[in-house]
Amino acid sequence: MNWRIFGWGIAALWVITIGIMSTFLVQGHTRPGNDGRTEIVLAPSERDLVLAEMRDLLKAVHGVVTVLGAPDQPIKAAEGAARAAGMAMAADVNPAIMLKLPLAFKQMGMSIHKDMDHLADGIAQGESSVQILNRLSSMTARCTTCHDMYRFATK
């Protein structure tokens, strides 16, 4: 047995394993979709969970813009709507789903939750409607970017 070759063999296996693992972590469980977007393959229940979270995100945006347009409504309601979609919403994400999501998807998703908390803080600190709308616009830009990039599939 030539131990030097054996050692290089082990090192090469390590490099290949780490390469495959990091590719998987970056790409998630994806394939090209037929409408030009990248398809993320999830189990049906996982897809339902993420889509339910998406609808909650839209409700948060709706809650904030509705209060902005109705100055007689308590600003606390807008703060609450934004806070509901903050990092607390991301806290219970299932690790099995996280493994299937591509890195860019997770980064955009997390940044939305973080910015929802910042938005709630800004509202609580009495920011103007224009400042709040600018925060919302920076977030809805990410909603649309991600929607243009990805779709879900279950098979």
Site residues for ligand HEC per CB under 6 A: 51, 54-55, 57-58, 61, 105, 108-109, 112, 139, 142-143, 146-147, 150-152
Query: Please, is 77 exposed, middle or buried when counting C-beta atoms within 10 Å of its C-beta (0-12, 13-18, 19+)?
Result: middle
The smaller minimum CB distance to ligand HEC, of residues 59 and 76, is found at 59
The smaller minimum CB distance to ligand HEC, of residues 17 and 154, is found at 154
Alpha carbon separation from 77 to 24, 55, 74 (Å, rounded): 41, 18, 6
Minimum CB separation of residue 147 from ligand HEC in Å reads 5
The smaller minimum CB distance to ligand HEC, of residues 128 and 144, is found at 144
Q: What residue type is 5 in one-letter code?
A: I
The smaller minimum CB distance to ligand HEC, of residues 16 and 33, is found at 33
Q: What six digits make up the tokens of 58?
A: 């839209």
Helix (H, G, I), strand (E, B) or coil at 31: strand
The smaller minimum CB distance to ligand HEC, of residues 76 and 114, is found at 114
Query: Please, is 40 exposed, middle or buried when counting C-beta atoms within 10 Å of its C-beta (0-12, 13-18, 19+)?
Result: buried
List alpha helices for 33-102, DSSP H. 44-68, 75-84, 87-90, 95-100
Minimum CB separation of residue 48 from ligand HEC in Å reads 8
- Order across the sheet with 150-153: list the strands: 30-32, 38-41, 150-153
Minimum CB separation of residue 20 from ligand HEC in Å reads 24
Minimum CB separation of residue 97 from ligand HEC in Å reads 12
